[in-house]
Amino acid sequence: MLQLRASRTAYLATAGAVGVVAVETGNNNETSAPVDAVADAPSPVVEVAFPPIVAEPPRRVFIELPEKLPIYPTPSATLVLLDTPSPLELRIGQVRRELCGYYSGAQAQVQGVVDRWIHVEEVVESRIKSFRDPTEPLNPGLLYTGISALTASIFVRSRRLPTRIILPPLSLLAAFAYFLPRTAERVGDWAEELEGRYIPRVGEIRRTSVAHTGMGLAMLGEKVREGKEGLGKGARKLVDGVESGTGLKLGDALGWANTDKTSEEDKKA
């Protein structure tokens, strides 16, 4: 019986079973040594007795054996490979991310500039459309305006530099105000609005200068009318004197008689 148990123990040791061997000596000391056995399976305790050895007290060995042995080999542990990047790969990734960030920032700035430019174009287009008067045709007024500016630049090309600089723009503005008066009025109102918003002091000076110029022109026109009336009265007296001295009808020859009749009728009316 002891030989059978010893042979079974040797078989289990050679078969690769997992278990625990407990050895009890005569000194009441129990030692344990691992042997191969199957995990996760309850096993009974087998008692094996060895023959005594000289100079050693008898001992007993207890082996924990599994109830059932596996029919398939125990699978090996799964190896998981972790992809650990090298320092060079980490540096390359960092540089790539920085370049992508710079590219995204530059693209955003360019897109912002394009958006602002499109907004400016839309504002200018809407402003130009607001200048146009539906009741006033642009053609041929714009054509005449351009021809006037070009003609002025041709006439003054052999003159002095200040004349060549000042006269063509003045001719353009005058022709624009003459051929497109309502459009020119709208443009002037917008220019006055900008002037009052950004340079109000210049606007005050300009308005004062325009008012003084208008007053001067009105006074000059009044003086011209007075001079004309005085000259007409002097000529009338001279003609009356000649008519009374010679009997000639110079007033009728000059057509003043009809003018006198018309003025008298206007006074009566």
* CB-based contact 38:69 (threshold 8 Å): yes
CA distance 23 to 63: 8
Which H helix or E strand runs over 48?
A: strand 45-49
CA distance 146 to 148: 5
Q: Which residues contact residue 181 at a Cβ distance below 8 angstroms, ignoring those fewer than 6 apart?
A: 136
Phi and psi (nearest 5°) for 255? 80, 20
Q: Does 58 have pLDDT greater than 80? A: no
**pLDDT at residue 7, as a whole number:** 55
Torsion of CA 240, 245, 250, 252, to 10 degrees: 80
pLDDT in tens, 203-223: 888 888 888 898 998 899 888
Token output for 86 = 């090298």
Q: Quick one: which of 61, 75, 52 has its CA closest to 13?
A: 61
Q: Quick one: which of 11, 56, 9, 58 has its CA closest to 33?
A: 9
Q: How many CB atoms lie within 10 A of CB 6?
A: 15
Token output for 116 = 């602002």
CA distance 24 to 64: 14
CA distance 68 to 18: 11
pLDDT in tens, 24-49: 444 444 444 444 444 444 444 444 45
* CB-based contact 64:51 (threshold 8 Å): no
**pLDDT at residue 194, as a whole number:** 86
- Hey, which residues does 21 pair with through a beta bridge? 33, 63
Structure confidence at residue 254 as a pLDDT band (50, 70, 90) = low
- Hey, which residues does 61 pair with through a beta bridge? 23, 48
**pLDDT at residue 61, as a whole number:** 62
**Higher pLDDT residue, 73 or 56?**
73
Residues in the chain: 269
**pLDDT at residue 45, as a whole number:** 46
Name the least confident of 114-118, 179-183, 204-208, 261-265. 261-265
